[in-house]
Structure 1
Amino acid sequence: MRILLIDDDALVTSGIQTIIEKSTQDSDQPIKVCAIGRNGNEALLLYEIHQPDIILMDIRMPELDGITAGKQLLERHPDARVIYLTTFLEDEYIVDALRLGAKGYLMKTDFASLIPAFEAVINGQRVFGDEIVAKIPTYLDSTQANTSAILPELSQTEQQLVYWVAEGLNNKEIAEAMHFSEGTIRNYLSTILEKLDLRDRTQLAIHYFKNLH
């Protein structure tokens, strides 16, 4: 597994690289830091060069911040796996990370979670630190209220599914979040698209964000 590490603090990147590589050096599948960058611009450039399995990135950095870099990267490479590693718990950052489709949001105080987080993300999961998980219900309550206002033709369950689609979750992840089977999620999604006269989940996400106030 190859990790692209982006952080403007050289001590942090050195420490993270040591933790990652020493923790897996005896593993059958060692994890290597393939490159290190200091800002969002370098993140975009280095991703093109190295095509890493995961990009681990800070948020506040000079020249180009991590959120903006993440948005630009995922526009170019929708399959990129972005994990934010930061000291910031501001609601705005967390919501932006969720919205742009980041695979994870972890705190720098929890280095022990890095290796399990990489493995989870490679296996198609999303990972969030305990502090972030505690905040998510508040975001859901707020967003679901907005969803109800902009999609009154949908049931509450359908509105919740639209929210998860807009946040970038796949059918398996939505099924786990809503405690349904993947087949049920596919059926709901087909019904929603028919009700809204939309072609696919991409159009659905665009429709959602265009009408979200």
Structure 2
Amino acid sequence: MAITVMIADDNAFIREGMNIILSTYEEFEVVALVENGQEAVDFCKEHAVDIALLDVRMPVMNGVDATKEIVAVSETKPVILTTFDDDEYILGAIKNGAKGYLLKNNDPERVRDALISVYHGTSIIQDIMLDKIKQSLVNPTSQPHIDTELFTERELEIMAYIAKGYSNKEIAEHMFISGGTVANYITTILDKTNLKHRTQIAVYYLTGNVY
């Protein structure tokens, strides 16, 4: 069964281009093309869609606000597809429940792999985005920090690996534990922080803030 995708972008060239690209892969079925965030929200309310691929800057409603609405009214997983210039939106999108944050200049294969990962429950944020979080949000004069007393040594180690972009499998290999054990630790960390997914753990670890 194909992964259903809705594409929202006010640029017709990008919108149609992504449609053509994703339609070449048997894993996907593009079910709608819309021009703004409100149209994306309305479609997700009325139709079962696996992934909403959202531009950030759109008229009527932007991708960050649309992400919040989509998460509230549906089971659709929002993924932001954006440009370098939109990095100020990263935390807003993550806070609102985005499951992925990708740059438009990615190779089609990388976008494909990322969407498949999101569909299967893995949140995706590119290393360059994590770097921007470090640069723009960590105040060098007052370094934010997490409350280490809330976590065990193992949990802190796993959080550090997540912040570096390691997958569960890679963490398991480095720590010589099973993937199931890693998943259990992550669940515990999410419960302690009231976060929703591992991407938010990375932001929390890097900035000391819960978004």
Which of the five TM-score ranges fits, normalised by the shorter chain? Answer: 0.5 to 0.7
| Distance (whole Å) between structure 1 residues aligned to residue 7 and residue 56 of structure 2 | 12
Superposition deviation, residue 131 in structure 1: 2.7
Correspondence for 2:194 among 193, 201, 204: 204
**2:93 counterpart of 1:94:** no
Pairs within 5 Å for 1:59-138: 59-77=56-74, 79-112=75-108, 113-138=110-135
Preserved contact between residue 147 and residue 212 of structure 1 (Cα < 8 Å): no
Task: Please give the alpha-carbon distance, in whole angstroms, between the structure 2 residues aligned to 1:184 and 1:17.
Answer: 36
Q: Which has the higher helix share?
A: 1
Question: Where in structure 1 are there 5+ consecutive unaligned residues?
Answer: 164-171, 193-199
Distance 1:185 1:146, change over 3 A: farther
Native 8 Å contact 1:89 1:132 kept in 2: no
Deviations along 1:168-207, one digit per CA (max 9) or x if unpaired, are xxxx69x77x9576547746976x8xxxxxxx9398349x
Which sections of structure 2, spanning at least 5 residues, go unmatched? 161-167, 197-203
Which TM-score applies when normalising by structure 1?
0.67
1:82-130 Cα distance to aligned partner (Å, 9 max, x none): 1111124444311222222311111111242221122111222222335
Counterpart position of 1:37: 34
- Provide the rounded CA distance (Å) in 2 between the counterparts of 1:109 and 1:189: 33
Structure 2 residue matching 1:34: 3-state secondary structure: strand
Q: CA deviation at 1:69?
A: 0.9
Residues paired across the two proteins, number: 189
Relative distance call for 1:203 and 1:7 in structure 2 (3 A) is: same
Report the Cα distance in structure 2 between the residues aligned to 1:153 and 1:75, rounded to whole angstroms: 33
8 Å CA contact retained: 2:56, 2:86: no
Cα separation, 2, equivalents of 1:152 and 1:133: 21
**RMSD of aligned C-alpha atoms?**
4.1
**Residue 18 (structure 2) pairs with residue 16 (structure 1):** yes
Cα–Cα, structure 1 residues 140 and 48, in superposed 2: closer, same or farther, change >3 Å? same
Cross-structure match for 1:197: none
CA 1:130–1:184 in structure 2 vs 1: closer, same or farther (change >3 Å)? closer
CA 1:186–1:116 in structure 2 vs 1: closer, same or farther (change >3 Å)?
A: closer
- TM-score, normalized by length of structure 2? 0.67
